[in-house]
Amino acid sequence: MAHLSMLREFQCWLRRTRDRLPVACLLCGSRAAGGLCRYCCEAVTADKEEVRRCPRCAVALRGKPAAGHPDCPDCPDLSAALERVIAAFDYHWPGDLLIERLKVQGRFSCAVVLAGMLAERCQTAIDLHSSKRTSPMLVAGVPASRRSLILRGFNPAAELGRALAVRMGWEWQPGLIHRAHEGQGQKSLGRRERRREVEGLYRCDARLQGRAVMIVDDVMTTGATLSAIADLLQQRGAAEVWAAVAARTPTRLEAPEAGR
Ligand SMILES: [Zn+2]
Ligand SMILES: [Zn+2]
């Protein structure tokens, strides 16, 4: 285990060094340390208006809360095993460009920048809600379909997960979750059909007794995929399951691809 912790320390040092080097901003091209200039970073992460967010699933909520009533439209459909969702920003311009450039153009530096934004949110949430944890979280990306792997040659969720694990000093577990079968895709499915479609779609053979797991994906829309995986990990003994997504789709909008 000692060599693993030394490797993690070395990765953290490498990341800190790289973050100080000026490179072209991924959105505007100006010189910036870390791959995204301050103005673009603010444009991506700043909310367009004053919004409340669901403290559990991070979706933007409208209006004032009704006294005594939880008013999140998405939480009732999420699995109780999914304790908390961390999102770097809402799925809209210009943040969506970073996701598109990772997924479509295979620009892996976008995964590093997105993971950096997510890491800040994760640290804040952990300081607030999970100060008692002693062992590092296990990190796993949502597995891609075989078709998508063949088309792209990589899994964007895994790239993001690995970069987040390095950034946070957590344990990256690329083989923790597998696809049990290929499924039919969720593009045109409604909320309830998506939940049915992902039931039994994933497999986990690891024993996770007492461990905390962070599932990572690029975009969360209905949460059907994350819910199914959280159920699975809880059945395997995980004590705590969180999810980290680069972007959270505002309620009732559909993500461009998987809609998961
Ligand atoms: Zn910029
Ligand atoms: Zn919610």
Task: Please return the burial class of 147, using the count of CB atoms within 10 Å of its CB with bins 0-12, 13-18 and 19+.
Answer: exposed
Q: Find the DSSP H helices in the chain.
A: 2-20, 38-45, 95-103, 108-129, 146-152, 156-168, 191-198, 224-235
Residue 6 within any structural domain of the chain: no
Ligand of minimum distance to the alpha carbon of 36: 1
Whether residue 9 is predicted with pLDDT greater than 80 in this model: the reply is no
Ligand of minimum distance to the alpha carbon of 29: 1
Q: How far is the CA of 64 from the centre of ligand 2 (A)?
A: 15
Residue 27 within any structural domain of the chain: no
Q: How far is the CA of 148 from the centre of ligand 1 (A)?
A: 30
Average of per-residue pLDDT across 200-207: 93
Residue 32 within any structural domain of the chain: no
Residues 181-200 as b/e (b if ≥16 CB within 10 A, e otherwise) read eeeeebeebeeeebbebbee
Ligand of minimum distance to the alpha carbon of 54: 2
For the record, the structure tokens of 168 come out as 């946070």
Residue 136 within any structural domain of the chain: yes
For residue 69, what pLDDT is reported?
Answer: 58
Which of 18-22, 43-47, 203-207 shows the lowest per-residue confidence on average (mean pLDDT)?
Answer: 18-22
Query: Across all residues in the chain, what is the average pLDDT?
Result: 86
Residue 17 within any structural domain of the chain: no
Ligand of minimum distance to the alpha carbon of 25: 1
Calculate what percentage of the chain has a pLDDT beyond 70.
Answer: 85
What digits encode the pLDDT tens for the residues 130-186?
656 667 899 999 999 999 999 999 999 999 999 999 999 999 999 999 998 877 666
Residue 143 within any structural domain of the chain: yes
For residue 133, what pLDDT is reported?
Answer: 65
Residues in the chain: 260
Number of domains making up the chain = 1
What digits encode the pLDDT tens for the residues 97-114?
999 999 999 999 999 999
What domain range includes position 222? 50-61+77-248
Ligand of minimum distance to the alpha carbon of 39: 1
Residue 116 within any structural domain of the chain: yes
Residue 189 within any structural domain of the chain: yes
Contact 65, 223 (CB under 8 A): no
Look up the CATH number of the domain holding residue 114. Answer: 3.40.50
Nearest to 143 by CA among 153, 161, 157, 164: 157
The residue among 112 and 23 whose pLDDT is bigger is: 112
Q: How far is the CA of 99 from the centre of ligand 1 (A)?
A: 15
For residue 253, what pLDDT is reported?
Answer: 46
Nearest to 84 by CA among 234, 191, 215: 215
